[in-house]
Structure 1
């Protein structure tokens, strides 16, 4: 159970900082603002309201707080925890066959579609040039659709049911942890990720496709811009030490509305760096924030699996249009 803040003022900001037991310096670095800014907010109390971009970062910081910090925050403000939601009270149930982890998210953008095979929400990344790598080299990438969220445990479970593929080593009785259905699937090799992509009639992204989807076309350092804001992703500094739900960090989405392009889990790409090794993008909950830039290079053996490695898939725009036309 969680609570939300409708309007952040200096009062709520101070309560959150103290609930997280952070100094003004640490909290400022956590949000990507100056120490002077945090002090100004707190001194202003209920008479001061941060800009929307900072309110969004505060939302993410509260959502990412552990249960103890969250309880302290609620107690300091004299709030009451909301009643459990339908989703929270049904976590002991089996995943609904055919349902996806994004079923509660409306598709209002004309550039967003659901893939006809695995049902995942995908968004269009238009053709054009973007600035790639640490040197911001101009690179042209044709149009493609990418999964808005990483492949979750619920997604991967449906794949296993359809194919009898081997489950991740930490699943019990071939079933994912019931409290992590909306977390990215982990302990998957490049071969596992490729098998899912083939089953769903999609592919793993190239490293350039992945980076463009994360950074956009302006050469921003992070998905949300160039402001250093650790609160917008699940990285090592938060001390969560595990994956988080794929839709948690709404303030950290990319220009295309794609989640978790920084932090949470590394993601397999189709780009081979040398025989048997492939690029990984995105950083993870195990990564320091300094490594959480989409331009960061990482690779691994195709046989590697770990608790911080997952994937998402893509499909060319023309292929998606053909698939959708076949359904009409």
Structure 2
């Protein structure tokens, strides 16, 4: 597949023609105004869209069917560069992993860019952030309890987790429990869109590993595991950024408020049928909900964490 080295109004016009869309349809597809598209096309080679729009155009082209890409290539010709010469892509798995300097958790960078969000794959821009590679484990959560005296999960005996669950995600935590941990750790709960981007990548994958429905790549009801599993078990199910358990194992609290007193949950759990675990799907619960299949992970804005690491 070929990609555009630098978008101008001429390539924008060619892409719209190749997709056989009206101005209105193309503007809606990119999530910008018809007037903006019209201005680009009129200016031709004399105008370049902003980086956020360049990224949206890259994504639009990459997700086009082969016939559309062939029409586009015919229209623009030497404006293209082959993928082997420099197509932008997500960094290789694990290449941007760091340890959070305060709590030591493994995090990975999700670069700032447009990604395709929700069931309808709407282009959305998000700035760069780091996200926990794994859900917060019982062992990690116990450090928070020891430091703060926060109430332990209800199934822990004498305030301690069973040793065999040390590397399993913590459960029986309310949204307020999760938010309290995040604040203590110098982090935050992810927004629903941050979580989804980390799970799907930029190009609208249905699942973290791609578009094939493969329940064996995650801990869901169909597999009959019947409980949580270690946070690093499902290596073949990692996301394009190398993030684990974005399908199954535990539902994960997000910071996004769906309505007063309710927050979004993402990812499905060991109790969930596979078709409920699609990262683009919506789910929410009361902030006070506390169950054996619900946990969380955290994020940090990229500039904040990088300042901590370099300071």
Do they superpose with TM above 0.5?
A: yes
What secondary structure is seen at the aligned counterpart in 1 of 2:196? Answer: helix
The answer to whether the aligner puts 1:180 opposite 2:165 as a matched pair is: yes
Aligned with residue 165 of structure 1, among 150, 155, 158: 150
What secondary structure is seen at the aligned counterpart in 1 of 2:309? Answer: helix
Q: Which moved more, 1:149-158 or 1:317-326?
A: 317-326
Give how far 1:207 is off: 0.1
Q: Name 1:275's counterpart in structure 2.
A: 260
Q: Name 1:132's counterpart in structure 2.
A: 117
Give how far 1:164 is off: 0.6
Q: Name 1:245's counterpart in structure 2.
A: 230
Q: Name 2:69's counterpart in structure 1.
A: none
For 2:162 and 2:256, how far apart are their aligned partners in 1? 30
What secondary structure is seen at the aligned counterpart in 1 of 2:241? Answer: coil
For 1:170 and 1:117, how far apart are their aligned partners in 2? 27
Write out the 4+ residue segments of structure 1 that deviate beyond 6 Å after TM superposition: none
For 1:109 and 1:287, how far apart are their aligned partners in 2? 28
For 2:131 and 2:143, how far apart are their aligned partners in 1? 19
Give how far 1:185 is off: 0.1
Aligned with residue 319 of structure 1, among 304, 307, 310: 304
Matches within 5 A, 1:44-193: 109-193=94-178
What secondary structure is seen at the aligned counterpart in 1 of 2:212? Answer: coil
What secondary structure is seen at the aligned counterpart in 1 of 2:246? Answer: coil
Tell me, yes or no, if the aligned pair for 2:208 and 2:246 is still in contact at 8 Å: yes
TM-score (norm 2): 0.70
Q: Name 2:221's counterpart in structure 1.
A: 236
Aligned pairs, number: 219
Q: Name 2:277's counterpart in structure 1.
A: 292
Structure 2 regions of 5+ residues with no counterpart? 1-92
Change (3 A) 1:222 1:110: closer
Q: Name 2:205's counterpart in structure 1.
A: 220
For 1:257 and 1:247, how far apart are their aligned partners in 2? 11
TM-score (norm 1): 0.66
Structure 1 regions of 5+ residues with no counterpart? 1-107
The answer to whether the aligner puts 1:209 opposite 2:194 as a matched pair is: yes
Q: Name 1:14's counterpart in structure 2.
A: none
For the pair shown, the structure with the greater C-alpha radius of gyration is: 2
For 2:246 and 2:94, how far apart are their aligned partners in 1? 20
Q: Name 1:55's counterpart in structure 2.
A: none
Q: Name 2:293's counterpart in structure 1.
A: 308
Aligned CA RMSD, in angstroms, stands at 0.9
Give how far 1:240 is off: 1.0
Give how far 1:109 is off: 4.3
What secondary structure is seen at the aligned counterpart in 1 of 2:147? Answer: helix
Give how far 1:254 is off: 0.1
For 2:124 and 2:291, how far apart are their aligned partners in 1? 31
